[in-house]
């Protein structure tokens, strides 16, 4: 309890609680990132962190949503409820890291403002599978931010418990949005049945717990007495000493407390967070809320000074061996004379009210409660480690693409603008026909930009360039270091006179199925850099002039990547945006330009396939 503003009212239990929460998150992240890095050495650190923080936040949200109904069903879970708000703030923080990393990774450094990109990059929405899932995540994050920002008692006191509570119920909206964010995002690409099963299990768990708790609450309300001025609650002997019986009185829950031979009735909802006072205890002569230990005097419903919370009070009387409560409440804080229990109505033997009761701010917790909480925490830790490993192992295999980030290399070659902006490198020690004399290294600028503007002035000339290599499955790309292009007057020593451009060799018409991807991400800058979850990023890259690749897929996991251009050789970047990452069939003319495969087709020859 607090009567003045303090950032956090720390106590030893809260410190232990937060330390456990931090350890839990670190354990999960360690397992997820460690196992993924071990199983998938080609996975990029950005992907690991984005996925790790995202899944950690989503799983933690499930834990946060579970604590409430668990505590309703079994009071031994109440210690987990005591500091639940901190778990909520941690959930938001994990989501924020996930969101910021995703925004930077997938939407920054392009031709659009990152936030504009987030809403615009997913161009086509013809099927549910193409639904832009990222804005759903952003909206959920905004809700979680609102909840984290207002989680402090300062806001609770200023907004009032009912409004604050209603506001914080929007966590269910955030949960639903995140569920759809996951199902319409990463699960459109990931194929492991375990991931689907875990998500469905999470939904079933949350739904089942809440329905069960709601059913239990409804049972309490169904015991409402007949409507009259005085409501029959129970016999005095049914109320244990220091505890309460909850009754529905004129539609409101009322807690009738017995302390020694006296009875007092107050509204059941705690003014702090609407906690069930009737499930609390009389401690130090005060009704003590089971959620956060807020206290009220039983006869007047007012918190002891200097605290100012007040709840409504009710008249109570004992008549013919029954406890009766008057249906009309008094204003909060009004003193009502407690009813005395006649000697003949007192319980004949000591009540069993000695069960343990947890109050977070007391120096020590009851041993039984402590044992239970330790066991529950251990179970959560084991579950977190198991889920971290299972989720990591269930991911689609990352491709053997690589981005040599931070490693600059120098290359000498000839700039070619057709069929795509490339650097032609003479193959060392080459012997053979001219068609295999050089390698095409596709050229791009840093970020999500093509390199045509940077190299246009050097078309057909020998240059020396510096950049970072990206490579996958026989295709290399160079991310140019801006300002590093130097024109050479003559081929470097040892280089033979290189044919300026390899001859195009027609391979005939083909019809192929696969996916349109942006070459930079696909070759290794993002890993994975394909399928629906990567659609928005690929669209932004292609919009920015990154060469368009078609990834042809065959049976038995065969894949071949080829440059996709128009039938007249033009870049199709702006014409295929709505088809990026979709399952498509393309009919066109296949040709080879040295080592580079090129598929020439018009947008009308690209057909979206529906399964």
Q: Which of residues 401-420 bind another protein (CB under 8 A)?
A: 402
Q: Looking at the chain, how many residues does it have? A: 611
Site for another protein, residues 239 to 268, rule: CB under 8 A: none
Distance CA 320, CA 345 (A): 9
**Going by C-beta distance under 8 Å and a sequence separation of 6 or more, which residues neighbour residue 63?**
87, 380
Choose, by CB under 8 A, the member of 553, 567, 569, 603 that binds another protein.
553
408 close to 481: Cβ distance less than 8 angstroms: yes
Distance CA 113, CA 121 (A): 11
| Of 40 and 153, CB closest to another protein | 40
| Of 19 and 207, CB closest to another protein | 207
459 close to 417: Cβ distance less than 8 angstroms: yes
Question: Shortest distance, CB of residue 214 to another protein, whole angstroms?
Answer: 7
Positive or negative torsion for Cα 257, 262, 263, 266:
negative
With CB under 8 A, what is the number of residues at the site for another protein? 72
| Of 283 and 436, CB closest to another protein | 436
| Of 245 and 472, CB closest to another protein | 472
Could you tell me which residues are beta bridge partners of residue 276?
269
256 close to 329: Cβ distance less than 8 angstroms: no
Which run of H or E residues covers position 608? Answer: strand 606-608
Site for another protein, residues 554 to 573, rule: CB under 8 A: 554-555, 558, 560
Site for another protein, residues 11 to 50, rule: CB under 8 A: 41-42
Contact between 469 and another protein per CB under 8 A:
yes
Calculate the alpha carbon distances from 272 to 69, 253, 309, 310 in Å. 18, 16, 8, 10
- Torsion of Cα atoms, 573 then 579 then 582 then 585, to 10°: -90
450 close to 438: Cβ distance less than 8 angstroms: no
Question: Shortest distance, CB of residue 464 to another protein, whole angstroms?
Answer: 16
Site for another protein, residues 84 to 103, rule: CB under 8 A: none
| Of 438 and 448, CB closest to another protein | 438
Question: Shortest distance, CB of residue 332 to another protein, whole angstroms?
Answer: 27
- Return the range that interacts with another protein (CB under 8 A); candidates 228-236, 485-493, 569-577, 584-592: 584-592
Choose, by CB under 8 A, the member of 5, 38, 154, 172 that binds another protein.
172
132 close to 564: Cβ distance less than 8 angstroms: no
Site for another protein, residues 331 to 350, rule: CB under 8 A: none
- Return the range that interacts with another protein (CB under 8 A); candidates 97-105, 271-279, 453-461, 579-587: 579-587
Distance CA 304, CA 301 (A): 9
Contact between 165 and another protein per CB under 8 A:
no
**Going by C-beta distance under 8 Å and a sequence separation of 6 or more, which residues neighbour residue 256?**
233, 234, 239, 244, 245, 246, 247, 263, 264, 265, 278, 316, 323, 325
Phi-psi region of 256 (alpha: psi -120 to 50; beta: other; left: phi over 0): beta
Distance CA 73, CA 216 (A): 8
Show contacts of 223-232: CB within 8 Å, 24+ apart: 223/247, 223/248, 224/248, 225/249, 227/327, 228/327, 229/326, 229/327, 229/328, 230/317, 230/324, 230/325, 230/326, 230/327, 231/324, 231/325, 231/326, 231/327, 232/322, 232/323, 232/324
Choose, by CB under 8 A, the member of 590, 600, 601, 606 that binds another protein.
590
Site for another protein, residues 532 to 551, rule: CB under 8 A: 532
Choose, by CB under 8 A, the member of 255, 287, 391, 476 that binds another protein.
476
Contact between 370 and another protein per CB under 8 A:
no
Taking residues 493 to 512 in sequence order and writing x for each that binds another protein by CB under 8 A, - otherwise, the string is: --------------xxxxxx
Answer whether the bond into residue 528 is a cis peptide, omega within 30°. yes
Site for another protein, residues 509 to 528, rule: CB under 8 A: 509-515
Choose, by CB under 8 A, the member of 227, 228, 397, 567 that binds another protein.
397
Choose, by CB under 8 A, the member of 152, 165, 471, 481 that binds another protein.
471
Question: Shortest distance, CB of residue 585 to another protein, whole angstroms?
Answer: 6
- Return the range that interacts with another protein (CB under 8 A); candidates 152-160, 180-188, 309-317, 345-353: 180-188
Answer whether the bond into residue 293 is a cis peptide, omega within 30°. no
| Of 10 and 215, CB closest to another protein | 215
Site for another protein, residues 192 to 231, rule: CB under 8 A: 196, 199-200, 203-204, 206-207, 210-211, 214
Contact between 457 and another protein per CB under 8 A:
no
| Of 158 and 397, CB closest to another protein | 397
Contact between 109 and another protein per CB under 8 A:
no
Question: Shortest distance, CB of residue 113 to another protein, whole angstroms?
Answer: 28
Contact between 363 and another protein per CB under 8 A:
no
| Of 245 and 440, CB closest to another protein | 440
Question: Shortest distance, CB of residue 538 to another protein, whole angstroms?
Answer: 14
Question: Shortest distance, CB of residue 511 to another protein, whole angstroms?
Answer: 7
Residue 501's nearest CA partner among 562, 413, 570 is 413
Question: Shortest distance, CB of residue 188 to another protein, whole angstroms?
Answer: 6
DSSP 523: I
């Amino acid at each position: 309890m607090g009567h003045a503003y303090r950032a956090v009212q720390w106590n030893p239990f809260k410190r232990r609680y937060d330390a456990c929460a931090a350890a839990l998150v670190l354990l999960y992240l360690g397992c997820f990132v460690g196992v993924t890095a071990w199983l998938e050495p080609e996975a990029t650190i950005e992907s690991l962190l984005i996925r790790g923080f995202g899944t950690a936040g989503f799983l933690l949200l499930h834990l946060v949503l579970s604590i409430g109904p668990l505590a309703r069903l079994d009071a031994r879970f109440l210690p987990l409820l005591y500091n639940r708000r901190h778990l909520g703030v941690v959930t938001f923080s994990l989501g924020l890291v996930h969101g910021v990393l995703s925004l930077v990774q997938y939407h920054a450094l392009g031709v659009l403002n990152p936030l504009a990109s987030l809403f615009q990059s997913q161009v086509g929405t013809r099927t549910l599978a193409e639904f832009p899932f990222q804005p759903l995540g952003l909206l959920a994050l905004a809700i979680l931010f609102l909840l984290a920002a207002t989680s402090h008692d300062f806001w609770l006191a200023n907004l009032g418990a009912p409004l604050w509570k209603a506001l914080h119920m929007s966590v269910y909206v955030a949960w639903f949005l995140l569920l759809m964010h996951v199902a319409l995002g990463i699960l459109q690409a990931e194929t492991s049945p375990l991931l689907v099963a875990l998500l469905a299990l999470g939904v079933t768990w949350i739904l089942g717990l809440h329905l069960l708790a709601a059913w239990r609450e409804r049972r309490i309300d169904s015991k409402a007495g007949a409507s009259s001025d005085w409501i029959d609650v129970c016999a005095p002997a049914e109320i244990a000493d220091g505890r309460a019986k909850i009754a529905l009185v004129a539609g409101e829950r009322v807690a009738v407390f017995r302390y020694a031979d006296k009875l007092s009735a107050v509204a059941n909802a705690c003014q702090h967070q609407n906690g069930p006072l009737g499930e609390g205890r009389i401690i130090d002569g005060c009704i003590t809320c089971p959620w956060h230990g807020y206290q009220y005097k039983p006869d007047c419903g007012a918190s002891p000074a200097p605290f100012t919370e007040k709840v409504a009070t009710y008249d109570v009387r004992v008549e013919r061996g029954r406890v009766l409560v008057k249906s009309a409440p008094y204003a909060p804080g009004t003193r009502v004379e407690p009813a005395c229990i006649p000697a003949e109505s007192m319980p004949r033997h000591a009540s069993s009210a000695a069960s343990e009761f947890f109050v977070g701010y007391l120096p020590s917790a009851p041993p039984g409660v402590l044992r239970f909480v330790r066991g529950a925490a251990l179970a959560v830790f084991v579950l977190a480690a198991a889920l971290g490993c299972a989720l990591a192992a269930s991911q689609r295999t990352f491709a053997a693409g690589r981005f040599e980030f931070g490693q600059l290399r120098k290359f000498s070659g000839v700039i070619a603008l057709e069929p795509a902006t490339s650097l032609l490198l003479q193959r060392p020690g080459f012997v053979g026909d001219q068609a295999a004399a050089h390698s095409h290294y596709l050229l791009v600028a840093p970020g999500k930009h093509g390199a045509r503007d940077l190299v246009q002035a050097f078309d057909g000339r020998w240059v020396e360039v510096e950049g970072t290599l990206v490579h996958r499955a026989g295709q290399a790309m160079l991310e140019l270091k801006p300002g590093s292009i130097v024109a050479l007057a003559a081929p470097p020593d040892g280089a033979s006179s290189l044919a300026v451009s390899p001859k195009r060799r027609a391979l005939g018409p083909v019809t192929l199925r696969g996916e349109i991807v942006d070459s930079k991400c696909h070759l290794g800058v993002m890993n994975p850099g394909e399928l629906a979850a990567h659609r928005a990023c690929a669209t932004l890259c292609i919009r920015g002039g990154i060469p368009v690749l078609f990834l042809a897929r065959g049976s038995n996991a065969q894949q071949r990547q080829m440059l996709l251009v128009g039938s007249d050789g033009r870049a199709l970047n702006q014409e295929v945006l709505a088809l990026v990452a979709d399952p498509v069939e393309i009919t066109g003319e296949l040709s080879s330009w040295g080592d580079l495969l090129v598929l020439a087709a018009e947008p009308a020859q690209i057909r979206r396939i529906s399964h």
